[in-house]
Structure 1
Amino acid sequence: MASSTKLHPATLVTNIKTCVPIQLDDGLNHNTWVTLFQLQCRGNLVDNHITSKDSLNTSDAKDSERQRLNDIVRTWIYSTISPSLLPSIVRPKDSALDAWNRLENNFQNNRTSRILHLESQFNNLSLSNFPHVKSYCNELQNLATTLTNLGTTISDNRLAL
């Protein structure tokens, strides 16, 4: 007889990098990465591993399955961040939530310096460094969007100037 055991959707993901196509690096893409990663986790029914302290605190027969799913999510995190971030995140006996929180804290703690750096880039951006106006405007818009995601709004008037 065939087994009636259902496969969990997360176990069918063979390459997380196709589902989360950007690599989290110095934080300029943090909000985009977080959004894509959370969507992937929700879509594969493992978002509790990055949101709930109780994702591993159970004592029923499904403990090994929960641990397996936790390890999958933790591997997803490790696989989608830059090698320079990895040493600050990896801990041998962590849960996915521990790794997620450590990563989040890393970016929250550096938020002010990232805002200052981005505002400096925004203020010092020069049209002469771009091949055409469209690429210059796109870069201004990207910087403004990133600053907005960090909680600093660039007004439309400032953007137009």
Structure 2
Amino acid sequence: MRRRIVVIDEAWAVLGNLQTAEWLAASYKLSRSHGVQYIAVLHRLSDLLAAGMEGSRQHKLARGLLSDSETVVAYSQPPSEIEATARLLELNELEAEYLGQLPRGMALWKVGRRSFIVEHVLARGELAIVDTDARMAVDPREFGNSEGSAGGNSRVVGHA
């Protein structure tokens, strides 16, 4: 049997379509028999709640996908997200505390009912694939000056 990994980036957007959400829920249930591993990517777990109105079929499907996920990897969350994330993942007080303090590259892994703090180490060449911040950097050449100046007496020295 051929094995596959299906990555669903911005999964909240995919779940916004009822037919797609139903297909995905059914696919999750049959994934082992089809040799498929699904990876749903979200910036915040609370994004799942945006899949539909409270109590709607889409909302229930989104929560069901989270419940059907054997492994959840959660990176550091801002204070405004800790409570919702803790509730959705059924985190205890210590896990929730860690979630707000994890440095870059560290994550809380929930595997079944067990939790782990894991350091993710990038192999050579992987940074170019996963560094989405690089796309936010300003390239001075985009301003039409080949010498790297943003024009006038100013120049780009970095970004916030």
What TM-score results when the alignment is normalised by the length of structure 2? Answer: 0.29
1 or 2, which has the higher strand percentage? 2
- With CA pairs under 8 Å and 6+ residues apart, which has the higher RCO, 1 or 2? 1
1 or 2, which has the higher helix percentage? 1
